[in-house]
Amino acid sequence: MCLAAPAQIVRIEEGGWLAEVESFGNRRSVGLTLVPEAKVGDYVIVHAGFAVEIIDEEAAKISLATWEELLCSTK
């Protein structure tokens, strides 16, 4: 029940309560109340029918690069 999956916002409905998201080819409607600042195109984590956080792609890229530097290139 704890499954939380990434998805991309493709449409935000009028009023901003609900959004249509796509995740690996599947489209569904999710609540947007918990991430009021989300925009179309944003990647979000979806859990129990709600988007719960926006994925920060920049932070993701930076941390991946850091891990690589710390853990793959040393020795």
Partner 1 sequence: MLDEIIKPLRDPVRGRQMLAEIQARWHTLAARRGRPIVLMEFCGTHTVALARTGIRSLLLPEVELKSGPGCPVCVTDARDLDRAIALASVPGVTVATFGDLLRVPGSRGSLQEARAQGADVQVVASPLDALQLAIAHRERQVVFLAAGFETTAPATAVTVQAAARQGVENFFVYSLHKMTPPGLRAVLGDREIGIDGVILPGHVSLIVGRQAWDFVAEEHQLPGVVAGFEPVELLAALGLMALHWDEEPQILNAYERVVRERGNGAAQQALAESFVPVDAHWRGLGLLPGSGLALAERYRQWDAVVQFADCWRDLEPPKPIAGCRCGDVLRGVCTPLDCRLFGQGCSPATPVGPCMVSQEGTCAAYARFAVAK
Residues near partner 1 (CB under 8 A) are: 1-4, 6-8, 22-24, 31, 33-36, 43, 45, 47-50, 52-57, 59-60, 62-64, 67-68, 70-72, 74-75
- CB-neighbour burial class of residue 51 (10 A; exposed 0-12, middle 13-18, buried 19+): buried
Q: Would you say 20 or 53 has its CB closer to partner 1?
A: 53
Q: Would you say 34 or 40 has its CB closer to partner 1?
A: 34
CB of 19 to partner 1, least distance (A): 13
Q: Would you say 12 or 23 has its CB closer to partner 1?
A: 23
- CB-neighbour burial class of residue 44 (10 A; exposed 0-12, middle 13-18, buried 19+): buried
How many Cα atoms occupy the beta-carbon half-sphere of 33 within 13 Å? 4
